[in-house]
Structure 1
């Protein structure tokens, strides 16, 4: 089952068109920032396939704000 999460796109650590590149960059980020918590590679539900990297703690739980939120499907948790 797909897990759909909400993030503010401006909080993205990186945006990639290649899934494997996104996973590789997420691993590098996590190694360099070992206290940053869980890193998520997520797929955008809009337009062409693209993958973003977010910190799990940046997930929006209040669906009413901010207005710039966007839906993503979790592809990989680290």
Structure 2
């Protein structure tokens, strides 16, 4: 089952058209930021992959508005 998460696209660490390139970049970022959980997600347009910090996911605990137009749904591809 796919996990859908919401992020502000402006929080993206990177955007890639190639899944392997996105994962490799996320692994490098993870090595530099040992205490951070990194997610590779399938982009909102289903044509790209984005990298986000898991802490940047919008949840009920940290959301600022239920109607924030900057929020976009993403499907988690990899968790590092």
Indicate the RMSD between aligned Cα atoms, in angstroms. 1.4
Moved over 4 A (4+): none
Query: In structure 2, what is the equivalent of residue 76 of structure 1?
Result: 78
Query: In structure 1, what is the equivalent of residue 41 of structure 2?
Result: 42
Of the structure 1 ranges 24-33 and 54-63, higher mean CA displacement relative to structure 2 is found in 54-63
Q: How many residues align?
A: 76
Instruction: Give ranges in structure 2 of 5+ residues lacking alignment.
Output: none
Report the Cα distance in structure 2 between the residues aligned to 1:49 and 1:7, rounded to whole angstroms.
17
- The TM-score normalised by the length of structure 2 is 0.87
Deviation at 1:65, TM superposition (A): 5.0
Instruction: Give ranges in structure 1 of 5+ residues lacking alignment.
Output: none
